[in-house]
C-alpha cells in the first residue's frame, strides 16, 4: 500500500513540474511573439526589468504549480480506489465496492475492474466448489489413497532411513577396527555415527508424521491440527506453539488441502530446518482465512533450484486448487515462514451438506 501511495505522490509532483515547465514555455513563446511584433515597450532601467521579469515568472510558476497540483490531485483521487482494489486482488482479497468515477476513460476503467473482480470471484468460487467435489470423490477412493501413501512411505523409508542405518552399521564396524590403531580417527567416526543417527531420527519423525489419516475423518481443521501438534509435541524435542480459531467452518475440500499443507510444512521442518521452535496459526480475518507456519531453523535460498525438494511445489499446487495465495519468507540462517491466505465464498455447512 505504501508503494502505491508513493507512486501517487510522485505522480502529483511530476504533474506539477510538467505544468510549470509548460507554462514557462508558453510564456517564452508569448514574449517572443510580442517582441517580434514590437508590442513590448522598453522598461525605464534594468532594475525595473529584473523586478518585472521575476514577478511575471513567479506568477507563471505559481499558476502552473497550482494547476498541476489541482489536476493531478483530481486524477489521483479517482485512481486511488482502483489501485487499492488491485492491491487487494493481488493479496487474494475480493472485497469490492462500486466504482462511480465518471464517464471518461478512468470511469470506464473502474467499471471494467469491477467486472474483472466479479469474474475472478466467480472463478475462485468455482475452484473451491470443485475442490470440495474432489474431496468427496477422494473420500470414495480412500482405501486406494491409503495404499498409495503406504507404498510411497515404504519407498521413502527404504531410500532415506535404510541407507542411513546401513551407513551407521558400516561406520560402527569400522570403529571397531580403528579404535585400537587410531583413537582420534575412531572418535571422528563415532561423531559421524551420531550425526547420521540424528538425520535418520529426523527422517523417521517426518515419515511418522505422514502416517496420519489422509483426510481429517470428520474432524474440523482446527481440531485435526491441534491433535497433530499435540502428538508432535510429545515426540519431538522442539518448542511447539499454536493459535487456532476453533469456530472456523470451511468446506471439506479446503480443510483437507490446508491439513495436508501443514503436514508437508511440518515434515519439511523436521527433516531440514534444524529448528528449536515451531509456531502454527489458523486465524479468521475479514478477508478470509490466514494460515501461517513459522520456524527458527536454518532457512534456505528460495531462488535456488534445490528448493523444489522442500515440497514447495506440492504446497503451491494445493493452494492454487483452493484459490488461495502462498507466500514463503526465508533466507539462510533466518528461519522460514509460510503464509497462506484463502478467501472463502462457500460456507462450510453449505458445502458439507
Q: What is the pLDDT of residues 55-72, one digit of tens each?
A: 878 888 888 888 878 877
CB 319 within 8 A of CB 255: no
Looking at residue 239, its pLDDT comes to 92
Task: Kindly indicate the confidence band of residue 92, based on its pLDDT and cuts at 50, 70 and 90.
Answer: low
Q: Which residue has the higher pLDDT, 178 or 351?
A: 178
Please, what is the Cα angle at 304 between 303 and 305, to 5 degrees? 120
Task: Determine how many CB atoms are found less than 10 A away from the CB of residue 280.
Answer: 23
Which grid coordinates belong to 142? 480412500
Q: Is 31 exposed, middle or buried (0-12, 13-18, 19+ CB in 10 A)?
A: middle
pTM confidence score: 0.52
- Is 218-353 assigned to CATH 3.30.565.10? yes
Mean pLDDT score of the chain, rounded to an integer? 76
Residue 17 has pLDDT above 60, yes or no: yes
Sign of the alpha-carbon dihedral angle for 183, 189, 191, 197: negative
**Confidence at residue 210, expressed as pLDDT on a 0 to 100 scale:** 55
Q: Name the pLDDT band for 319 (thresholds 50, 70, 90).
A: very high
> pLDDT tens-digit profile of 217-267?
678 899 989 988 988 888 788 899 999 998 888 888 899 889 989 988 888
Q: Are 343 and 120 in contact (CB under 8 A)?
A: no
Contacts of 315-318 with C-beta under 8 Å, sequence gap 24+, read 315/261, 315/264, 315/265, 318/257, 318/260, 318/261
As a whole number, mean pLDDT of residues 207-225 equals: 70
Measure the CA–CA gap between 149 and 151, rounded to whole angstroms.
5
| pLDDT > 80? residue 40 | no
| pLDDT category of residue 343 using cuts at 50, 70 and 90 | confident
Query: Mean pLDDT lowest for which of 12-21, 75-84, 103-112, 146-155?
Result: 146-155
Residue 95 banded pLDDT, cuts 50, 70, 90: low
Residue-wise pLDDT tens digits, 175-188: 766 766 776 776 77
Count Cα atoms within 13 angstroms, Cβ side, for 142.
Answer: 10
Query: pLDDT at position 238, please?
Result: 86
Distance (Å, whole) CA 216 – CA 213: 7
Give the model's pLDDT for residue 285: 87
Name 209's Cβ contacts closer than 8 Å, sequence gap at least 6: 228, 232, 263, 266, 267, 270
Distance CA 320, CA 246 (A): 24
> Between 17 and 255, whose confidence is greater?
255
User: Lowest-confidence range among 141-150, 171-180, 190-199?
Assistant: 141-150
**In degrees rounded to 5, what are phi and psi of residue 96?**
-140, 155
> What average pLDDT does range 269-280 have in this prediction?
87
So what's the pLDDT on residue 305? Answer: 46
State residue 103's pLDDT score: 66
> Which of the four pLDDT bands, split at 50, 70 and 90, describes residue 208?
low
pLDDT of residue 296: 93
Which single residue is written with the C-alpha cell 583413537? 183
Q: Show me where the domains of the chain are located.
A: 2-90, 141-211, 218-353
The mean pLDDT value for 43-51 works out to: 72
CB-CB neighbours of 189 under 10 Å: 20
| pLDDT at residue number 228 | 87
More confident residue, 146 or 308: 146
Residue 295 has what pLDDT? 94
Residue 158 has a pLDDT of 57
Q: What is the pLDDT, as a whole number, of residue 280?
A: 95
Instruction: Report whether 61 contacts 20 (CB < 8 A).
Output: yes
Amino acid at each position: 500500500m505504501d508503494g502505491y501511495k508513493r507512486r501517487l505522490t510522485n505522480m502529483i509532483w511530476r504533474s506539477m513540474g510538467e505544468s510549470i515547465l509548460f507554462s514557462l514555455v508558453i510564456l517564452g513563446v508569448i514574449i517572443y511573439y510580442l517582441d517580434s511584433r514590437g508590442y513590448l515597450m522598453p522598461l525605464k532601467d534594468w532594475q525595473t526589468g529584473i523586478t518585472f521579469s521575476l514577478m511575471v515568472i513567479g506568477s507563471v510558476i505559481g499558476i502552473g504549480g497550482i494547476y498541476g497540483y489541482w489536476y493531478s490531485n483530481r486524477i489521483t483521487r479517482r485512481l486511488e480506489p482502483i489501485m487499492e482494489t488491485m492491491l487487494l486482488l493481488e493479496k487474494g482479497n475480493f472485497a469490492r465496492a462500486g466504482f462511480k468515477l465518471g464517464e471518461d476513460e478512468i470511469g470506464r476503467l473502474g467499471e471494467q475492474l469491477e467486472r474483472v473482480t466479479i469474474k475472478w470471484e466467480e472463478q475462485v468460487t468455482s475452484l473451491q466448489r470443485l475442490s470440495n467435489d474432489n474431496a468427496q470423490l477422494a473420500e470414495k477412493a480412500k482405501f486406494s489413497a491409503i495404499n498409495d501413501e503406504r507404498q510411497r512411505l515404504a519407498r521413502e523409508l527404504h531410500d532415506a532411513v535404510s541407507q542411513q542405518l546401513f551407513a551407521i552399521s558400516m561406520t560402527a564396524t569400522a570403529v571397531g577396527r580403528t579404535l585400537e590403531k587410531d583413537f582420534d580417527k575412531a572418535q571422528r567416526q563415532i561423531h559421524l555415527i551420531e550425526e547420521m543417527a540424528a538425520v535418520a531420527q529426523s527422517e523417521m519423525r517426518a515419515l511418522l508424521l505422514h502416517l496420519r489419516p489422509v483426510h481429517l475423518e470428520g474432524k474440523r481443521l482446527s481440531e485435526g491440527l491441534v491433535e497433530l501438534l499435540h502428538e508432535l509435541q510429545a515426540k519431538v524435542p522442539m518448542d511447539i506453539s499454536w493459535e487456532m480459531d476453533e469456530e472456523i467452518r470451511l468446506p471439506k475440500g479446503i480443510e483437507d488441502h490446508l491439513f495436508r499443507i501443514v503436514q508437508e510444512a511440518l515434515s519439511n521442518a523436521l527433516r531440514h530446518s534444524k529448528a528449536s521452535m515451531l509456531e502454527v496459526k489458523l486465524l479468521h480475518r475479514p478477508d478470509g482465512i490466514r494460515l501461517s507456519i513459522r520456524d527458527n531453523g536454518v532457512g534456505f535460498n528460495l531462488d535456488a533450484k534445490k528448493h523444489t525438494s522442500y515440497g514447495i511445489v506440492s504446497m503451491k499446487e494445493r493452494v492454487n486448487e483452493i484459490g488461495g495465495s502462498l507466500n514463503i519468507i526465508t533466507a539462510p540462517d533466518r528461519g522460514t515462514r509460510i503464509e497462506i491466505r484463502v478467501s472463502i465464498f462457500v460456507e462450510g455447512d453449505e458445502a458439507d451438506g
